[in-house]
Structures are given as structure tokens and as C-alpha cells.
Amino acid sequence: MTTSYSTDIVIFGGGIAGLWLLNRARDEGYQAILLETNALGGGQTLASQGIIHGGLKYALGGTLTGAANVIADMPAYWRRCLNGSGDVDLRACRVLSESYYMWSDSGLRSKLKTFLGSKSLQGRVEAVAAEKYPGFFKASTVSGSLYELPDFVVDTASLLEVLANKQRGQLFQIGADDYLFNRDSAGKIDSVTITSQGQEIQINTQRFIFSAGEGNQGLIEKADLQTAKSQIRPLKMTYLKKKDLPPVFVHCIGDSFSLTPKLTITSHVDSDGLAVWYLGGELAESGVNRNDDDQIETAKALIQDLFPWLDFSGGEWHCFTINRAEADINNNYRPEDAYFVEEDNILVAWPTKLTLTPSLADKVMGHFARISLCPSAQSNTEEMSNILPSAELADAYWE
Ligand SMILES: Cc1cc2nc3c(=O)[nH]c(=O)nc-3n(C[C@H](O)[C@H](O)[C@H](O)COP(=O)(O)OP(=O)(O)OC[C@H]3O[C@@H](n4cnc5c(N)ncnc54)[C@H](O)[C@@H]3O)c2cc1C
């Protein structure tokens, strides 16, 4: 026997995009559920550095690009959510650092001063006076300059937890190969049949949203969509775990301006209380061409060179590869903002960046309002929870 269930929106993928969209859709009165093939957040979201940035990083190329302009409003948007006055209540989400910094060695000082003093950037980046340096940089033995950006860092695990906790009854786990899309008489996909624990459930819906990160490609193929295209960019992320590492949140600028900082550091704490330095930036981009041992040796040399005063002896080093998944809008060109494409009843969505997730939700909700998608189904997920297990949160990569 096949159990039947009707809802307004079915979301595939429980990273930041799917969870944020689920919260927004339900707050706006839609019945919505989320289906996850793995664990919530275990794709890019928990691999991300959690930096909510206002785009200044992109200005390092010399001009404020489109990407920098689109993203500039995002820190304020997130701040409203974090203080409870935004459209998603994130008051229980932990902020790891209220500031994000940029560090450059003395070689670039005069060039940076001129550049950061330029009209477009005035007031957006502040040079930090040496006596106001955060602890780690106070101990610096090299002559460098520190700048404060209007960016900050969220704890992605607590962010996911806040979003998932509000929707516990709507989050379901499905097997990666245990579902099939069904088409109506006009050929449009209007339901999905899921097999779980020997039982079958057919879920009818007005709209599907695919927000499965790298998994969007498989969904596009399974639904035989013709317009949505995705691309991936691998990164080799490295982390150092050591007791008493000082918390550091900084982009380290190389000896030339470049869109990608030489090294981007965020600091975290694992479940044993060990401090974690999580390392991205150019190190992660070029790292995909190195084996793990070479990557760790390269990371050690870089840290030694940048911060000769840091004692990281006895630390534990690890690295792993993770793919960034983005829309491919024109021969590998990636959008500067969050992006979705609609084909029949299906929206395929990519936030492009964690920071831009609220923009994705605004676009999708705006679209639903424009096409007058009305909340209709009166659904109760109780019966479904007897068939589908609930989706759980993934652990951080350094656990
Ligand atoms: C190393 C790294 C660092 C980053 N740092 C930052 C940063 O500091 N700031 C920033 O703004 N952005 C950052 N980003 C980008 C940001 O992480 C991503 O844009 C964002 O997390 C994407 O979220 P998502 O929900 O679309 O995808 P994901 O987080 O990848 O979630 C997709 C989910 O879908 C599930 N799934 C897969 N296939 C299926 C399927 N068929 N059915 C159902 N579920 C499925 C997966 O298991 C996963 O849970 C970073 C990315 C990486 C990789």
C-alpha cells in the first residue's frame, strides 16, 4: 500500500539553503517539508568558514566588482536576524567573532594605504592602531598592518541547529536511490514516491526546490531538467588542532593584491575542547594539486612564514577535499548573487555563498508571491514520520 501525502513545497537538501528556505516558506504560511539523503549541513555548510562578508575581499582585485556590490548589504541583514529583528530569528546562533581582520606584511603597507583610502572603500575598512590589536597580533614579532573589515564569523553548527530545531517535524531522511519523480498528464513532475523501511509514500506538491549543493546535479539528471546547470570547484581545506591556540580570524594578504587571500583563518573549538585553526584561501585552492602530506607541509611553512612568533609544535594537522557547488550560468561563469532557475514545478537553487542565503530566500519567496503560489495543502506530517526517519545534524569536519 502506498501512503499519500500532500504539501505545498518539497525541498531536497538540508544545508544552509534548504533549512533557511524551509523556515522562510513555513513562516509565510506554506506547508513544506525537507528531504535529506545524508546528515543536515554535512556538505559545504559545515565545511564553510562561516564568514559573513560584505564583499571587501573582492575589492582586493583593485576595483569593487559586481560581486562586492551585491554582497555589501548582507552583514547588516544577518545582524538583524542575529538580534531577532530579521525575517529569520537567529538569536540562538553563536557568533564566533564579531570582527574579521586583514593582515598584510610591511611590503604592502603604502600600496594598501592608498588603495584602502580610495573613495569607494572609505569608511568600510579601518586600519587598527597597534595598541588595539587583538591578543595574537599584539605578540607579533614582524612588522605588519592589521585592518578591520565589516565582516564577522558565525558558528555554522549552531546556525544549522537553530534552523533545524524550529522545524524538527518537517525534516526527513531518505535513501540516495530510494525515490522516484512522477509526472502528471501534461508531463510535469508533480510528486515523488519514496521507499523507506519496506513502505512507500507518495508526496504530492505544488513546487519542488532542489537545494542539494553538489547533489543538485544528480537531482537535475533524475528529474531530466534541461535548463539548470551546475559546476563544482574543489578545495583542499587544512586544519590544525592544538591546545591553547589563540583565536584568530584573518585574511592574510600576499605580496600582491589578489581576489583570493594567501590564507584565510577561522578559529573553532572541537568537542574535546581543543582549539582548531581552519585554513582556507589560496592554500585551499592550490592544495587540490597536492597530496595530503604536501598540503600539510605547505600549510606549516606558510604559518611559520606569516606568524614566526606562533609555537605550533605538537599540533595535529589534517586536510580534506570538499567541492564548492555553484550554478553554471554561462560556460563555467558563476553568478555573483544567489541564484535559482525554474523549470516546470521545480526550482533549482544555489546560495553561491553562505552569506548570500538570505538573498536566495528573498528571491524564491518573491518569485512565489509573483506567481501567486498560494498555501493550500492542509498537511500533517505525523503519518509520514512513521515511515521516514528524521534527518539529523552532521558533525563538524574536525570532529
Ligand atoms: C571550504 C569552504 C569554505 C566556505 N567558506 C565560506 C564562507 O566563509 N562564507 C561564505 O559566505 N560562504 C562560504 N562557503 C560557501 C558556502 O559554504 C556554500 O555556498 C553554502 O554552504 C552552500 O549551501 P547549500 O545548502 O546550497 O549546500 P550544502 O551545504 O552542500 O548542502 C547540501 C545538502 O544536500 C544534501 N543532498 C545532496 N544530494 C541530495 C539529494 N539528492 N537529496 C536530498 N539531499 C541531498 C547534502 O547531503 C547536504 O546536506 C564555503 C564553501 C566551502 C566549500
Q: How far is the CA of 110 from the centre of ligand 1 (A)?
A: 38
Q: How far apart are CA 151 and CA 57, in angstroms?
A: 10
The yes or no reply on domain 100-150+232-326 and CATH 3.30.9 is: yes
pLDDT, position 28? 96
The yes or no reply on domain 2-45+159-228+330-385 and CATH 1.10.3720.10 is: no
Q: How far apart are CA 129 and CA 56, in angstroms?
A: 20
Would you say the CB of residue 335 lies under 6 angstroms from ligand 1? no
| Orientation angle between helical segments 16-27 and 156-165, nearest 10 degrees | 30
Ligand 1 atom 14: the closest Cα is on which residue?
Answer: 48
Would you say the CB of residue 150 lies under 6 angstroms from ligand 1? no
pLDDT, position 111? 63
Cell of 10: 518539497
Beta bridge partners of 390: 172
Cell of 188: 510535469
Would you say the CB of residue 49 lies under 6 angstroms from ligand 1? yes
pLDDT, position 123? 59
Q: How far apart are CA 26 and CA 201, in angstroms?
A: 22
Of the candidates 262, 238, 237, 249, the residue with the CA atom closest to the CA atom of residue 104: 262
Would you say the CB of residue 203 lies under 6 angstroms from ligand 1? no
Atom in ligand 1 nearest the alpha carbon of residue 219: 41
CB atoms within 10 A of CB 309: 10
Ligand 1 atom 9: the closest Cα is on which residue?
Answer: 51
What is the chain's pLDDT, residue by residue, as a tens digit (399 residues)? 888 999 999 999 999 999 999 999 999 999 999 999 999 999 999 999 999 988 776 655 555 555 566 688 899 999 999 999 999 999 999 999 999 998 987 666 656 666 665 555 555 778 899 899 998 999 888 888 898 988 999 999 999 999 999 999 999 999 999 999 999 999 999 999 999 989 999 999 999 999 999 999 999 999 999 999 999 999 999 999 999 899 999 999 876 656 678 999 999 999 999 999 999 999 999 999 999 999 999 999 999 999 999 999 999 999 999 999 999 987 777 788 999 999 999 999 999 999 999 999 999 999 999 999 999 867 777 888 889 999 999 999 999
CB atoms within 10 A of CB 90: 22
How far, in Å, are 7, 57, 329 from residue 155 at the CA level? 32, 20, 30
Q: How far is the CA of 43 from the centre of ligand 1 (A)?
A: 5
Atom in ligand 1 nearest the alpha carbon of residue 51: 8
Q: How far is the CA of 248 from the centre of ligand 1 (A)?
A: 24
* CB-neighbour burial class of residue 195 (10 A; exposed 0-12, middle 13-18, buried 19+): middle
Would you say the CB of residue 280 lies under 6 angstroms from ligand 1? yes
The domain locations on the chain are 2-45+159-228+330-385, 100-150+232-326
pLDDT, position 335? 84
Q: Do residues 196 and 202 make contact, with C-beta atoms less than 8 angstroms apart?
A: no
Q: How far apart are CA 171 and CA 26, in angstroms?
A: 13
pLDDT, position 13? 98
Q: Do residues 261 and 282 make contact, with C-beta atoms less than 8 angstroms apart?
A: yes
Q: How far apart are CA 360 and CA 214, in angstroms?
A: 17
pLDDT, position 110? 58
Q: Do residues 216 and 16 make contact, with C-beta atoms less than 8 angstroms apart?
A: no
Ligand 1 atom 50: the closest Cα is on which residue?
Answer: 48
Could you tell me whether strands 51-52 and 250-253 are parallel, antiparallel, or unpaired per DSSP bridges?
A: unpaired
Q: How far is the CA of 21 from the centre of ligand 1 (A)?
A: 14
Would you say the CB of residue 211 lies under 6 angstroms from ligand 1? yes
**Which mutation among 10, 12, 48, 250 tests ligand 1's pocket best, with the greatest number of atoms within 8 A of CB?**
48
Burial annotation 310-348 (CB, 10 A radius, 16+ → b, else e): beeeebebebeebbbbbbbbeeeebbbbbbbbbbbbbbb
Would you say the CB of residue 54 lies under 6 angstroms from ligand 1? no
Do 2-45+159-228+330-385 and 100-150+232-326 fold alike per CATH?
no
Rounded to the nearest 5 degrees, what angle is found at the Cα of 350, between the Cα atoms of 285 and 354? 60
Atom in ligand 1 nearest the alpha carbon of residue 352: 19
Would you say the CB of residue 351 lies under 6 angstroms from ligand 1? yes
Q: How far is the CA of 25 from the centre of ligand 1 (A)?
A: 19
Q: How far apart are CA 361 and CA 86, in angstroms?
A: 13
Q: How far apart are CA 144 and CA 55, in angstroms?
A: 23
User: What does the H/E/C string look like for 62-114?
Assistant: CCCCHHHHHHCCHHHHHHHHHCCCCCCCCCCCCEEECCEEEEEEHHHHHHHHH
